[in-house]
Chain A
Amino acid sequence: MAALVSSNSGYSQKELSCKKKDEFEDILEERRQSSDIQYAMKCYTPAIYKGLSPCKPGTLKTAVLKSEQVQYVIKQLSKETGESPDIIQEEAMEILEEMGHSLRLGAIRFFAFTLSKAFKKLFQRVCVNEEGIQRLTQVIQEHPVVLLPSHRSYTDFLLLSYIMFTYDLPVPVIASGTDFLGMKMVSGLLRMSGAFFMRRTFHGNKLYWAVFAEYVKTIIRKGYAPVEFFVEGTRSRTSKTLTPKFGLLSIVMDPFFKGEVFDTYCVPVSISYERILEESLYAYELLGVPKPKESTSGLLKARRILSENFGSIHVYFGQPVSVRTLASGRINRFQYNLVPRHISQRPSKDLQAFVRDVAYRIELIQIENMVLSPGALVATILLQNLPGMDYDVLVEKTLWLRDLTRSFGGFLDWPGNLSASKVVRSSLTLHSNLMSLVDGRVVLLGGRKEESRLTEELVFQWALSVLMCTSYRNQVVNVFVRPALVAISSQMAQSSRKEDIYHTFIFLRDIFSNEFIFLPGSALKDFEEGCFLLTKCEVIQITPHEIVTDRENAVVSFLAAMFKPFVESYQIICKYLSNDTTQVFTEKQFSSGVQNFVSQLLVTGATQCYEALSRDMQNNALSIFVQLGVVTKKQVANGLTFCANKEAVNKIAAKLGSKIPSEKVLMSRL
């Protein structure tokens, strides 16, 4: 590791022009210069947790099975069902077998070798922030550590383990979905490299929950290895951070609350891809073409992508966050004193709120530390100028956006030694499957010929391109969302009075709380942050009672245009719900219904909002409507049904539609 650090040329640092002082190190550089075999077979003696009681994966399983926690649940179930405890115990063992990892150094070395080969083919650079590694090395020795990476690709966990191996850190055990279990060989390999598997849903399965929770907690308590999982729960198909899941997070924090460990540290990890391996796959999925079931042969077919270039990856290990510090003054640990710790209790209200808060905070840190690529800026500009625009204008606007992004605190990887034109050109090259430069004009590929009539097929083709392009814009939306919502609020509000604007802001923030990541309960802070950033670039002026917006300002128009697809999509979905004649519908019916509705609108040219076709957007909207009580959800025998309150839906649509800036103004500005 020392050799690696010293061999760092500092080459990438100069390129990273932002607030962060951390030096990034390209770990592929070393790989391109020395033998991968030697690297894979290197002496691997990771820094380990000081309280580690070493044990084998098998002993771990036995410990879990024999734990008071699991035994208690087995006895309970036996009493409830009349089944003999032995049979339930066997069941528990089967669960463990399905779930458990079997971390082996050999498999790690195998991956170290093959991934070296693959990564070198696929990526130009894999950059890791060194300071983060140093912080991690330290904290790993002191406390149990939970790695919480962002999730954009299957590559994420392979990559993270690879980095840990490279830096002589203990390879984590990773919670992954059971969907991999279909791939026999791969799942075996993944198991050996530290993956353990959890079912996506185990509602009501007490035994499964007990065994799973105890498995994870035992790993934490023993300091067996860092635990890794994705707060987002699954890969984000849109590149936008998904709202967090809380189950696993509350499991890993439990040993701290019960005093079984002194502290636990959460390390948010931001993995930023310049180009995502699964980009087109995701676009299909978002359009409702079913996701291919993971299979080994499918993976082999994916080999063709090995010939493509996917640019750089930045992996930023954030500041480790102490659960103890977070909980201090918030959680009264007395609540665990009166019941034996092996009996699991329903988490108290304050605990649930705490876990939710931590989850959001972690995601906000992930977002903050995401490294944005010039390509994301290009995509953002292009999306506002479809189907294409002059190259020179694109370069100019990209530069403009670069400065805006920086002033809003975005963490940008902009090569300082290249001209803007070269930067944009290399982004176009990287995304050549998506956009191209023809006769001085940059166009999004997949468009129709001017003369041809729009058909559903063409709509689908174009939507694919738009959604792919959107996924790059989405890498930057979280940087802009607060000022943008303020700007949009100031356009939508009844007056320029502060309260009016703030209330509109709250409305938008609530409506879009599944789309963007807002810390619950901090609306005012978000508002103030948005105002601050807008004031900073002289877009708004704040007087004691008013917020005066310069509506003609380029920033305002740009921000409004950037978020217009969200506003419009939600309007369309509202319209669908209010038009729809069926009283009660299932999720499936909703999806296909909206899909048809939007397609028709697009075919007839009634809307240009292709993003409304995104399943992700539709599902987010449905779930927020349920949360807001606009749509009611009912559990029936064969699943869930929904029922919309038309009046309330119309109200929201009206609110979203009020005084929305006209298209014309926007287009003239950009």
Chain B
Amino acid sequence: MTFHPGPSNYLHRSMASGTSSQLAQRRLKIISGHVQPPQAREALSLHPCSAPAASSSIPKRRQEVLKWNGWGYNDSKFIINKKGQAEFTGKRYKLGGMVLPALREWMEKTFGASLEHRTTSRVSLNVNDVPPAIINEGFLYDLKATGISYSFDTEDRVFRAHGHCLNEIFTLREGLFNRIPDLVVWPNCHDDTLKIVELACKHNVCIIPFGGGTSVCNALECPEDEKRAIVSLDTSQMNRILWLDEKNLTAHVEAGIIGQDLERQLGESGYCTGHEPDSMEFSTVGGWVATRASGMKKNIYGNIEDLVVHIKMVTPTGVIEKSCQSPRMSTGPDIHHFILGSEGTLGVVTEVTIKIRPVPEYQKYGSVVFPNFEQGVACLREIARQRCAPASIRLMDNAQFQFGHALKPQVSSIFTSFLDGLKKFYITKFKGFDANQLCVTTLLFEGDREKVLQHEKQVYDIAAKFGGLAAGEDNGQRGYMLTFVIAYLRDLGMEYYLIGESFETSVSWDRVLDLCRNVKERIARECKEKGVQFPPFSTCRVTQTYDTGACVYFYFAFNYRGLSDPIHVYEQIEVAAREEILANGGSLSHHHGVGKLRKQWLRESISDVGIGMLKSVKNYVDPNNIFGNRNLL
């Protein structure tokens, strides 16, 4: 474990000055995982339906750039190269083309994985396995008349049949889903959506809205017993910024725009929303609203519920929206909160007015090492108490810290490797930190240069009181960069009998430590009881701080060699882990949502009356269950 700067070309450094557009460009590269620069700029348009869809980073035919059986872009993945070393392919990410010498050993050591034991995915999607489409002739006839784009293509349908839960990806690799959408439609604008929903009501067709497809709670899974035709309503062609209002600092956008495109396009005008969920390369504004998303930098910009000013949603009963864009209203329960987190059960979000901010002048990463997780949590709690959390602050436990080090690219010079050694010596020997105890916090500061520096000092001073040692900008920066590539790692693991998943919760401060410890222990115990042959990898990080508590994010993976039904075992363990979370005062979800994965606990989470309220809303808005994905209830 080392605390040195990576190769200088590794990541863009933070910058002190620059023109706002340059600055925005550069910043975006960092935050969006160094995706290739945008294609042609689109003119802003107020008449979306007549205008062509804006160019998007993800094409209408998703299969052209995205994997059919894994995370992310086709050209980006972890592989074990001919020398037996791990490598990340492609040029999209800065890690692309780099060798990660420590990763293989880490996998072997942590999981008991071995290069000799491989699993193989199906080579490609077998078109013949796909269940035949149920066709509603009347709906199709009327749909054709509207001129709205649609497809029966098998790949199109399968690509919209799933999110990224372990069981979904595993199913793709080994077999196929029993039920997938029968038809995909691409409305071009709000009015198109209105027409589709009207036709669906008329012909009793089930609609499942589809945004970026990054769900991790089985929200996109088609109910197997759905006898009606299922239409996947893909919002991707509704992806324009309709207008910017610089006086009020708002932007009106179509719900299908994906995070990276939104930030890039706003950045060209010197603005950003600052909403950066880890999935922002693929997820859409509509998806954020429908799942109550949370962004990494919520400390400055807020979570999605703080960011939206106005939402337009098409439901079977009509369009729901507010009559003004005022900042706050006392008009009974906020109708936005029926929409936020509705998970596609009530309608489809078509347009959103969202807050924007000028792109910050200055950004600075940082990191702090703590002797142990307890001290780290105490420090975060104090920072939250003083309400001085930087844009982002994340605390990784020891296992995750070591994991991060396994993902270090090859060191380019003897000098840096010497520096590595020196830092390690300083931390572990001179400062007496136990390498198997210490943990690290990554920080991201944003704002005016002067304020950032002041803020930085304040945070480091607090950290020092809890035994924290500043560990450099580069470690921090690398941590955030890894956020985007870590999602790719599961696909490599699955090649070697490793399966895993992440899950999250939020919990009050006094219970953070107990919850983290108990959940990890519960996972270990359940693995043992379920016959998992190797010790599991379970690790957590505190990813968000609030006045009263924090968001905790877990990774859990294990080597399933010797198990006949690994997915079932995995699911049982995840259920146990969730029960442990709930028993320790954690929430059912902080930002992933409920979907179908966590439905079983919703009643005890929000009480019988709560469920009744949600049901009565559903019954009023969608009495025929047109939006029939069966999430939540």
Contact = CB atoms under 8 A, between A and B. Distances in A.
Interface of A: 258-260, 262-263, 333-334, 336-337, 340-341
A260 B521 CA distance: 13
B583 A262 contact: no
B518 A259 contact: yes
B604 A334 contact: yes
Nearest to B511: A259
A281 to B, nearest CB: 47
The DSSP consensus for interface residues of chain A is loop
A415 B526 CA distance: 44
Given A334-B604, A340-B510, A341-B510, A262 B518 contact: yes
Contacts of B515: 259
Interface residues on B, range: 10 to 19
Contacts of B582: 334
A258 B584 CA distance: 7
Contacts of A258: 514
A547 to B, nearest CB: 41
B522 interface: yes
A259 B510 contact: no
A408 B63 CA distance: 72
B610 to A, nearest CB: 14
Contacts, number: 24
A259 B518 CA distance: 7
A292 B521 CA distance: 50
B514 A259 contact: yes
Interface of B: 510-511, 514-515, 517-518, 521-522, 582-585, 604
A262 B510 contact: no
B88 to A, nearest CB: 36
A481 B582 CA distance: 43
Q: Which of A258, A259, A260, A336 counts the most B-chain CB atoms under 10 A from its CB? A: A259
Contacts of B518: 259, 262
10 contacts: A259-B514, A259-B583, A262-B517, A262-B518, A263-B521, A333-B583, A334-B582, A334-B604, A336-B585, A341-B511
The 6 closest A-B pairs by CB, nearest first: A333-B583, A259-B584, A262-B521, A337-B585, A259-B514, A262-B518
Nearest to B518: A262
Contacts of B521: 262-263
A334 B583 contact: yes
A334 B579 CA distance: 10
A341 B515 CA distance: 13
Name the residue in B517, B521, B522, B583 with the highest tally of chain A Cβ atoms < 10 Å from its Cβ: B583
Which has the most chain A C-beta neighbours within 10 Å: B514, B522, B582? B514
Contact of A262 (B511, B522, B585, B604): B522
B520 to A, nearest CB: 9
A262 B517 CA distance: 7
A336 B522 CA distance: 19
A262 B263 CA distance: 44
Given A262-B521, A262-B522, 14 more contacts: A259-B514, A259-B515, A259-B518, A259-B583, A259-B584, A262-B517, A262-B518, A334-B582, A334-B604, A336-B585, A337-B585, A340-B510, A341-B510, A341-B511
Nearest to A335: B583
B272 to A, nearest CB: 37
Contacts of A259: 511, 514-515, 518, 583-585
Contacts of A262: 517-518, 521-522
A369 B583 CA distance: 34
B399 to A, nearest CB: 16
B513 to A, nearest CB: 9
A337 B521 CA distance: 20
B585 A260 contact: no
A568 B584 CA distance: 53
A341 B584 CA distance: 11
A351 B10 CA distance: 57
Nearest to B604: A334
Contacts of A341: 510-511
Contacts of A260: 514
Nearest to B586: A337
B126 to A, nearest CB: 43
Contacts of A337: 585
A49 to B, nearest CB: 13
A260 B585 CA distance: 11
Contacts of B514: 258-260
Contacts of B585: 259, 336-337
A340 B509 CA distance: 11
Contacts of A340: 510
Contacts of A336: 585
A337 B515 CA distance: 12
A262 B515 CA distance: 9
A334 B510 CA distance: 15
A262 B510 CA distance: 16
A336 B521 CA distance: 20
B351 to A, nearest CB: 38
